[in-house]
Structures are given as C-alpha cells and as structure tokens.
Amino acid sequence: MALNLLILGGTTEATALGAAVADAGLSGTVSFAGRVERPGRQSLPQRIGGFGGVAGLRDYILAHGVTHVVDATHPFAARMSHNAVSACAGADVPLIALTRAPWDAQPGDNWICVPDIAGAVAALDRPPARVMLAVGRMHLNEFAPNPQHFYLLRLVDPPGALPPFRDHHVLVSRGPFAQADDRALMEAHGIGLVVSKNAGGAGAYAKIAAARALRLPVIMIDRPAVPARLEAHSVAEVMAWLGHGADLGV
C-alpha cells in the first residue's frame, strides 16, 4: 500500500520534513491550524484550519486514506498533540512526533522556570521593567494584569488588535534569528528581562544566548505535558521510520 502522510505542521521541522517527503516521491499533506497568516512555502499540498477535535481528525484520516501521521506542531500545541494521539489510536494509524529537544540551562544562564503562561504572568508582578515578551500574539492579552512594564513584542504576524499594554513596541519578523542581532535588539530597547517559552531548536535560541551574554534573567515557560508517543528529533529519523519501520521507542 502506498504511503499517504498527514503532517501536522507549523514548524520549520515540518517544512523540512515536507520537502524530504516530496523529494522521496511520497504523497502527503501538510496541515496548518491557521494561527499564522502567512505560512511558509511548502513542498506538499497544504490545508489550513482545524479538524473539529478528536472525532474530526479521526474522520479526516479515514476519509482521506491517510496511512501515517506525523505531529510536527509546536511543542506548546498540546491540544493538537493530545488529539493526534487519540485520533490515530481510533483510526488505527501509526503516529510519530517530530519534536525539538527542549533547551537546558547553560552556565551563565539565569532562568526563572515557571510551569505555564499563568506562572509567567505571576512572575511579572514586580516593579516596572523593560521586558522582551516572546510568547506569540495568541497570549498577549493574558499579560494584561501587568501593564507597568514596557513590552518588546516580536511577532510573526501583526497583532489583530492593539496589544493591552500602555508602553510597547511591536516588531514583525520571522526567524531564524542570530544571536548578535538579538543582542543588538535588546540593547537598543534597554531590555532587562526576557520571557520565553521553552520551544527548543535553533531558530529561536538566539534570544536565550543573547540574554546569557547580557546577563539578563529569563522567565522560562515549561512545556505542557503530552501523552506518551513515538518521538523523533530529526527529519532523517522520521524518514527511516517511514521507510524501514525503525523502532525509536516511546
């Protein structure tokens, strides 16, 4: 039976996997949730929008003859990852997650680790500071309880509404970013504190390295829990799994 992949995308890893799948002559579709207005160009056909929960995703898999699912969503897209595990189990279709290893604190880092967005908001209940808030536009309103700070907001897309902060600057830019550029950006805006999700990978790490170089504290938001599943950390591992049934463990 010919392979027909469904790649749950939204990351640079998903784009790279799509290119490898296309180069191998395999069929597949890359699906985006629609939270980014301008998804990067893909080598495979793409769809945009939700599935309608577990049942909707299971029905899509069955209706479209999907043989394998790859969850290459952002590490913080926990609901989609939960749905993928349940839907693939219900459709009896194999699933693998292409995910980034989380960052670990290095010598010189000053991390304040918090479990979730609410924890980051609580950690910002402090005297006014100049904050680089790198959490994505979907979470900006959750930080409204702390309007005393200046916020530097670097977003992939312009915010749909005015951010809920009296003093802020919006920079619309798409990574990957360089450490030297992020250090210059922080120095130009007088940043004294960085708030970041522990996204892992290289594309967004520049701000963490720059904060270390500038001896700035980082409020680091831990990843949400996801169900146990087969995981890979490279496109090559996923391609091996597709071609040879490699046992990567859980």
Structural domains of the chain, with CATH: 4-101+225-244 (3.40.50.720), 111-221 (3.40.50.20)
**Does position 164 have pLDDT exceeding 70, yes or no?**
yes
Residues 216 and 191: their CA atoms lie apart, in Å, by: 8
| pLDDT 10s digits, 42-53 | 778 888 888 999
Q: What angle do CA 103, 105, 109 make, to 5 degrees?
A: 130
The percentage of residues in the chain with a pLDDT greater than 90, rounded to a whole number, is 70
Measured in residues, the chain has a length of: 250
Adjacent-strand bridge partners of 171? 154
Does a cis peptide bond (omega within 30 degrees of 0) precede residue 158?
Answer: no
pTM: 0.83
CA 116 to chain centre: 14
Report the C-alpha dihedral over residues 89, 10, 194, 223, rounded to 10 degrees: 10
Instruction: Identify the pLDDT of residue 1.
Output: 65
Tell me the per-residue pLDDT of 10-57, one tens digit each, with 9 for 90 and over: 888 888 999 999 998 889 999 987 665 555 567 788 888 889 999 999
In three-state secondary structure terms, 151 is strand
